[in-house]
Amino acid sequence: MVSEVMHMREEDKRSVWKFKIKRLLGKKWLYPAIYLTVAAIALLGVWWYQQGGDLAEPPKPEVQQEEESVTTTSPDEEKDDAVPVMTEQELWRMPVSPSVDTEVVTKFFDFDRSLEDQELGLVKYGNEYRQSEGIQLASASGNSFEVTAAMSGTVTEVREDPMLGTVVEVNHSSDVSSLYGSLEEVSVRPGEDVEQGDMIGTAGESEMGEGKGPRVHFEIRDQELALDPEKWFGRPMEDKEDKEESSDEERDDEEQKDSEELRDELEKEEE
């Protein structure tokens, strides 16, 4: 009897659940609710996947990066800041190769020098003595030798001079030039650029040094002003502190008198 009663209760419970389920399935909102739930679960899964699968990871704090300032430098400013490149200046050299043993046999005439040096600065031309506006170099052996450019420049003239013989002039700037006289052979022509040490020609003889063997007459001029070459050897062209004036008009009467007396003494000795 008891078992029958329990069996009836179980059947009643089943009937009640079936009735509830049937009633629930009959609701119109059930299926949309199921659809929305499934959709929400799907969206949650997609979001979790995109976040790398770690929902518990806290968001990283944003690091504020300081903007880097870029400073541009114009080409003109770069030139101003650049270290200037110093170009080596040429220094006046003897107009001969360093390997040639030469000596100065005629000096530049200078009133400030001793009477002995002034005598070495006079050259005989014909029957008179003239003041030398340059120097003359001769080799110790007495042989001819190569004459070289004392400084880089451009050959401006090759000519014949009655006193100096064959002459080559080289221009080094708008004002400064050098002259090479008493040449036997010439290796350059007008308009040709020469570097310091390039061959100009070979030493020969001229009326100014006739019978004294091969030599070269060398002058340095600033415009028409003759300078003492021996004072300029080893100095740059731009250094013009010691210009020597050589024209008779710029010398005083006393210096002219001393020069004339010296010439008279030399002429008397020859007579």
Residues 107 and 34 in one domain: no
| Range(s) of the domain holding residue 263 | 102-236+254-270
Q: Is 73 part of a structural domain of the chain? A: no
Which element (helix H / strand E) includes 125? strand 122-125
pLDDT of residue 158: 98
pLDDT at 79: 47
Q: Report pLDDT digits (tens) over 135-154.
A: 999 999 999 999 999 999 99
Q: Which two tokens stand for residue 70?
A: 């870029």
Q: Is residue 96, in this structure, part of any structural domain at all?
A: no
Are residues 213 and 146 part of one domain? yes
Domain assignment of residue 65, yes or no: no
Side-chain half-sphere CA neighbours of 53 within 13 A = 0
pLDDT confidence bin for 164, thresholds 50/70/90: very high
The reply to whether 142 and 265 lie within a common domain is: yes
| SS3 call for 269 | helix
Q: pTM surpassing 0.85?
A: no
Q: Mean per-residue pLDDT for 13-23?
A: 65
Q: Is 57 a member of any domain?
A: no
Q: What is the pLDDT of residues 200-240, one digit of tens each?
A: 999 999 887 667 899 999 999 999 899 999 999 999 987 65
> In the predicted model, is pLDDT for residue 26 greater than 70?
no
Number of domains in the chain: 2
pLDDT for the residue numbered 160 = 96
Query: Domain boundary residue among 50, 67, 88?
Result: 50
Q: What is the pLDDT of residue 240?
A: 56
Q: Are 121 and 13 in the same domain?
A: no
Nearest to 119 by CA among 220, 271, 267: 267
Does a structural domain hold residue 113?
A: yes
Locate 219 and state its tokens: 């002058």
Which residue shows structure tokens 């009477």?
115
**In this structure, are 211 and 151 located in the same domain?**
yes
Backbone angles phi, psi at 93, to 5 degrees: -120, 165
On whether both 161 and 224 belong to a single domain, the answer is yes
Q: Are residues 176 and 262 in the same domain?
A: yes
Is 116 found in the same domain as 29? no
pLDDT of 30 higher than 70: no
44, 117: one domain: no
**Quick one: tokens of 79?**
């030139």
Evaluate if residue 50 carries a pLDDT over 60.
yes
Domain CATH for 136 = 2.70.70.10
Task: Tell whether 25 is covered by a domain.
Answer: yes
The answer to the question of residue 56 being in a domain is no
Cβ contact 178:153 at 8 Å:
yes
pLDDT digits 0-9 by tens, 168-202:
999 998 899 999 999 999 999 999 999 999 999 99
- Nearest residue to 137 via CA among 204, 91, 187: 204
* Residue 109 within any structural domain of the chain: yes
User: What pLDDT shows up at residue 75?
Assistant: 54
Q: Are residues 7 and 139 in the same domain?
A: no
